[in-house]
Amino acid sequence: MKKLIYGFLIADVLIFAFLSMTGAIGANIDAKVPEFKKAIDNKTGILVDVRTPEEYEWERIAGATNIDWKGDDFEKRIQQLDKDKTILIYCRSGARASRARRRMKQLGFKNVINLGGGILRWKKEGMPTKKSPNYREDAHAGGEEGC
């Protein structure tokens, strides 16, 4: 019985080591707001908002480029970015950006950082956003389905 338990333990360690080396583990790690802001301030990467164009126009983090995760041209547009550069992505709450990040890793992007909690967390922590002239805090409160 001990040999069986040790065998499983060794197998688990080997699988974990393999996944770590291939980049499969860490594919869903999100950055906290201070780290994400620091990366933006230091111009560490390319800032991408993966929400819909309407959400982007309504309110966004200044300097972000909009590439809609749900858009038909997402892969075509994302492939135009340099895969060796750091890509900083966000959405409303982090869900769409997490899915976009996984897809980007599959497409060969080396370093994609998702803002954990999305723009909602960003605002909750007092970070600035660029707003539409018609912006109202109570409008679009529900956000996009699935994010």
d(CA 55, CA 7): 51
Longest dimension (CA), the chain: 68
Q: How far does CA 31 lie from the centroid of its chain?
A: 8
d(CA 47, CA 21): 26
Are 129 and 97 within 8 A, CB to CB?
Answer: no
Q: Does 91 participate in catalysis according to the annotation? A: yes
- Of the residues 61, 64, 91, 113, only one is catalytic, namely 91
Identify the DSSP state of 81: S
d(CA 49, CA 90): 5
Q: Where are the alpha helices (DSSP H) in 23-82?
A: 33-41, 53-58, 74-78
- Residues designated as active site: 91
